[in-house]
Amino acid sequence: MKAGRNFITTKKGDLGYGLFINAAGAYSDTVAHSFGAGMTYRLIPFKGIYKTLKRPAADLIRSSIYPVPNIRNPFLGIHFTRSVHGEVYLGPTAIPAFGRENYGILKGMDPEAFVILWRDALMFLNNRKFRGVALEEPKKYLFASFFRDARKLVKDLRPEDVEDSPKAGIRPQLVNMETHELVMDFLVERVGRSVHVLNSISPAFTSSMSFAAMVADQYVPK
Ligand SMILES: Cc1cc2nc3c(=O)[nH]c(=O)nc-3n(C[C@H](O)[C@H](O)[C@H](O)COP(=O)(O)OP(=O)(O)OC[C@H]3O[C@@H](n4cnc5c(N)ncnc54)[C@H](O)[C@@H]3O)c2cc1C
C-alpha cells in the first residue's frame, strides 16, 4: 500500500479518501507506516492455544473467570471463558508466533518470520519483562503447568475434565523499537488526514463502542 495526500494505491487499485481511518488490527503497523505514522512501532505476534471443558464440568462455570493480573506479565494468564452457546474455553498460552496469521505450527508462516524472529531476539536481549514472558509462558504447553494455573481459579477441576480444542488466537502486540518496551495500552496517531489505531489488544473488543467514540471525539477533525 502507498499513501498519497488524498488517495491510496492498493493491490486492487487506487482509492480516494477524505479522512483515512486505519483499524487494520494485526496489520495496523504496516498500514500506518505507509502514511509515515507509528514509525517507531512494530507488531510482534504472540500465539495462544485454548483447551475446553467436557460436560458436566463445563456446567460448573456460569461466567468468565479471570485471575488477578500479574503486573510483571503483560499477558492475562489462563482464564475461563464461557461462550454464549455454553462451551467453556481455558487458556490461552502465549508464545511468540512466526507470522501475523501463524495459527498452525507451520501454517501462516511467511517470509516475515525471519524479521519477527529477529525482533523477538532483540526483545529477548533488551527487555527483562519480555525475557520473563518468553521463559515462563511456554511452560503452559506442559499440561501439568496449564492445569495447575487453571485449578487456582476452579478448585474442583479434574485433569479428565479438560480436552484439547482447535481454538487458537494471535495477539498482535505492539513494541516500541527504540525503547524495546511492549506497548501496554491502545495507541492512536494522527498524521494529516489519516488516523491510526495501533495496538488494539484486549479489551479493545469489549470497549469498542466507547473506544470508537473517543477516537471520533479526539482524533477526527470536526
Ligand atoms: C484469542 C483472543 C481472545 C480475545 N479475547 C478478548 C476479550 O475477551 N475481550 C476483548 O475485549 N478483546 C479480546 N481480544 C482482543 C480483540 O479481539 C481485539 O482487541 C479486537 O479484535 C481489535 O479490533 P480491531 O477492529 O482493531 O481489529 P480486528 O478485529 O483484527 O479487525 C481488523 C480488520 O482489518 C482488516 N484488515 C487488515 N489489514 C487490512 C488491509 N491492509 N486492508 C483492509 N483491511 C484490512 C482485517 O481483515 C480485519 O477485518 C481477544 C483476542 C484474541 C486473539
Mean pLDDT throughout 125-146? Answer: 83
Grid cell of 91 as nine digits:
487458556
Q: Is the CB of 206 under 6 A from ligand 1?
A: yes
Residue nearest atom 44 of ligand 1, based on CA coordinates: 24
For the ranges 50-59, 96-105, 109-118, 139-148, the maximum mean pLDDT occurs at: 50-59
Indicate which atom in ligand 1 lies nearest the CA of residue 81.
8
pLDDT at 198 over 90: yes
Mean pLDDT throughout 199-212? Answer: 92
As to burial, measured by CB atoms within 10 angstroms (0-12 exposed, 13-18 middle, 19+ buried), residue 187 is middle
Which amino acid, one-letter code, is at 123? M
Residue nearest atom 40 of ligand 1, based on CA coordinates: 24
- pTM reported for the whole predicted model: 0.87
* Ligand 1 center from residue 25 Cα (angstroms): 5
Which amino acid, one-letter code, is at 30? T
pLDDT at 186 over 90: yes
What confidence tier does 181 reach under pLDDT thresholds 50, 70, 90? confident
Q: What are the C-alpha distances in Å from 25 to residues 18, 150, 173?
A: 21, 29, 10
Q: Is the CB of 23 under 6 A from ligand 1?
A: yes
- pLDDT tens sequence across 53-101: 998 889 989 999 999 987 777 778 899 999 998 899 999 888 888 888 8
CA end-to-end distance (rounded Å), the chain:
27
pLDDT at 106 over 80: no
* Ligand 1 center from residue 160 Cα (angstroms): 33
